[in-house]
Amino acid sequence: CHGCRSRARSLSFQGFSWSLRQNSWWNSQDSNDLPTAENPRILITENVILSDIKKAPPEVYRSGPFVYADVLDYKNLRELVVNNRITWLVHYSALLSAVGEANVALARKINITGLHNVLDLALESCLRLFVPSTIGAFGPSSPRDPAPDLCVQRPRTIYGVSKVHGELMGEYLHHRYGLDFRCLRYPGIISANTQPGGGTTDYAVQIFHDALSTGHHECYLRADTRLPMMHIGDCHRATVEFMQAPECQLSLRTYNIAAMSFTPEEVATEIRKQLPHLKVTYNPDSVRQTIADSWPVRFDDSNAQRDWGWKSTYGLEELVSDMLSSIRDKKT
Ligand code: AKB
């Protein structure tokens, strides 16, 4: 039927995958064991590529089961949850801030319709649900230094609007129906293993690759643009610790988490301690600079520290030395 074919094509354009994590870090049990509170079975939605369906790199398959699904296909998601006895769902699929502004209709579909599917499924199957939010959930009228957990949130990007919507929907379903919804507002996340993916904080990943390849980075933000950032190791640990925290410890369902804040010039100065010839030129682009100027420069994460013991371990110095050595290792 023509209708079905065109639907399949439009879904395949979304190109999202789900991975069922059963490696030792996420989940150490044998696949035949029944899930327990200590050994949840976790389904993670990830955004692999925006323009097509692609196989994941081999290391992804080596780390645990990896299956294809689309966050817009409810029946398919339900099948995955039922067939794999999933108990926790970690929902990462989303279009980020800059790419969302370039394709608002797609961002609305993935970030809002996709999220509704996941919320419905979590409620129906009694899943513990994690949905990340972001510094992008704040806007020009929010307090910026620092931004507290509870304050005015009037973001001016579709990404931010969809994230505030996610925070509020999840909290509503928690209060009304008891959904175990958990949400952390992430800073810009910096990883040597993930390529920049259409965000406003992407420069803080790209600068390391450029420093080690050409020695020149052209930055699309002004030199003094300060944003909250976090090393991927801290981000993973925060997420696991938060997901494992007993419900009675959580006074909120959406928490800020912080590690450090820096500007492009500050990270460049730190990189130059190892690579003194790094040259950075500044050519601010109006979309990303406007977005960055509306975001917090610092996060207040005192509630996360008090309620479930959050503490970051990477500062700017540790982040830079880990990024440079990890990227060097991957090249050799
Ligand atoms: C982005 O820049 O859009 C993301 C984020 C801060 O949420 N990295």
Q: pLDDT tens, 188-199?
A: 999 999 888 899
201 lines ligand 1 (CB under 6 A): yes
The Cα–Cα gap between 169 and 329 comes to 42
134 lines ligand 1 (CB under 6 A): yes
Ligand 1 centre distance from Cα of residue 134 (Å): 7
For 294-301, what is the mean pLDDT?
A: 98
Q: Does residue 146 carry a pLDDT above 80?
A: yes
228 lines ligand 1 (CB under 6 A): no
Pocket test for ligand 1, best of 92, 110, 159, 191 (most atoms within 8 A of CB): 159
Atom of ligand 1 nearest to the CA of 100: 3
What tokens appear for 204 in the block? 């803080």
Residue 177 binned pLDDT confidence (cut-offs 50, 70, 90): very high
Query: Which residues are designated catalytic?
Result: 159
Residue nearest to atom 1 of ligand 1 (CA): 199
Residue nearest to atom 5 of ligand 1 (CA): 188
Ligand 1 centre distance from Cα of residue 97 (Å): 6
Ligand 1 centre distance from Cα of residue 186 (Å): 8
Residues 314/261, Cβ–Cβ less than 8 Å: no
Q: Model confidence over 73-120: pLDDT tens digits?
A: 999 899 989 998 999 999 999 999 999 999 999 999 999 999 999 999
272-308 CB burial, b ≥16 within 10 A, e <16: eeeeeebebeeebeeebeebbbbbbbbbbbebbeeeb
Mean pLDDT of the chain: 88
Pocket test for ligand 1, best of 186, 194, 226, 260 (most atoms within 8 A of CB): 186
pTM of the model: 0.89
In whole angstroms, how large is the CA radius of gyration of the chain? 20
Per-residue DSSP letter, 147:
B
Residues 98/52, Cβ–Cβ less than 8 Å: no
The answer, yes or no, to whether the previous bond of 140 is cis (omega within 30 of 0) is no
Residue nearest to atom 6 of ligand 1 (CA): 188
- Sorted by sequence, the CB contacts under 8 Å of residue 65 that are 6+ apart come out as 19, 20, 21, 22
Residues 122/179, Cβ–Cβ less than 8 Å: yes
**Residue type for 57, please?**
P
pLDDT (0 to 100) of residue 101: 97
Residue 55 binned pLDDT confidence (cut-offs 50, 70, 90): low
199 lines ligand 1 (CB under 6 A): yes
